[in-house]
């Protein structure tokens, strides 16, 4: 009976040592791969329950130390999510600039057309021309305000998306 207890204790100690080694290896691998380091992510990578790490103070301290070491990313380190966000922002800005260029081309075309019409002498009387010009100015103002509204709507949507992402990150982070 005593031999069975000794063998069982030795087996449990061996299993705990193997799990301890797996946690250390997983922590090293996650640190080298620049992944987020949390007790849960280390436990998942080591295929152990997170309570195993909490029960061993040296493992928990190692995880906390790794978190502190990776808390301030190096200059130039970027995540895939950041790159995708920057790409989306650049594409949205490009689309806005294309719209603005088209708008400016239309305005220039209209202004040159009005000028050519007036110079040729076949244009409408001055009062009608002034009213038409004022109408064009007001239409341009409406287009400008519409573009500003679209930009503000895009910025609001981006801010809402950022807030959702931040709330998701806050909800995921261990307390």
Look up residue 44 and give its DSSP letter. Answer: H
**Residues 45-88 pLDDT 10s:** 999 998 999 999 999 999 999 988 876 555 455 678 889 889 99
- What pLDDT was estimated at residue 162? 94
How confident is the model over 147-166, as a mean pLDDT?
A: 95
- Cα–Cα distance list, 110 to 80, 123, 136 (Å): 45, 14, 9
Residue 123: left if φ>0, alpha if ψ -120 to 50, beta else—which one?
A: beta
CB 136, CB 106: distance < 8 Å: no
Burial 23-50 (b: 16+ CB within 10 A, else e): beebbeebbeeeeebbbebbbebbebeb
For 174, counting Cβ atoms within 10 Å of its Cβ (0-12 exposed, 13-18 middle, 19+ buried), the class is exposed
Predicted TM-score (pTM) of the model is 0.40
């Amino acid at each position: 009976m005593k031999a069975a207890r000794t063998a069982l204790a030795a087996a449990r100690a061996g299993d705990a040592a193997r799990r301890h080694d797996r946690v250390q290896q997983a922590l090293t691998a996650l640190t080298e791969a620049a992944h987020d380091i949390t007790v849960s992510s280390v436990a998942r990578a080591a295929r152990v329950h997170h309570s195993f790490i909490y029960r061993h103070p040296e493992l928990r301290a190692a995880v906390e130390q790794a978190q502190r070491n990776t808390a301030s990313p190096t200059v130039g380190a970027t995540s895939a999510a950041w790159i995708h966000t920057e790409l989306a922002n650049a594409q949205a800005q490009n689309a806005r600039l294309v719209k603005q260029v088209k708008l400016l081309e239309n305005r220039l075309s209209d202004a040159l057309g009005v000028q050519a019409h007036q110079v040729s002498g076949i244009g409408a009387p001055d009062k009608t021309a002034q009213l038409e010009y004022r109408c064009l100015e007001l239409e341009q103002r409406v287009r400008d305000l519409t573009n500003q509204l679209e930009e503000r709507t895009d910025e609001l949507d981006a801010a809402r998306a950022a807030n959702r992402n931040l709330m998701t990150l806050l909800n995921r982070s261990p307390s």
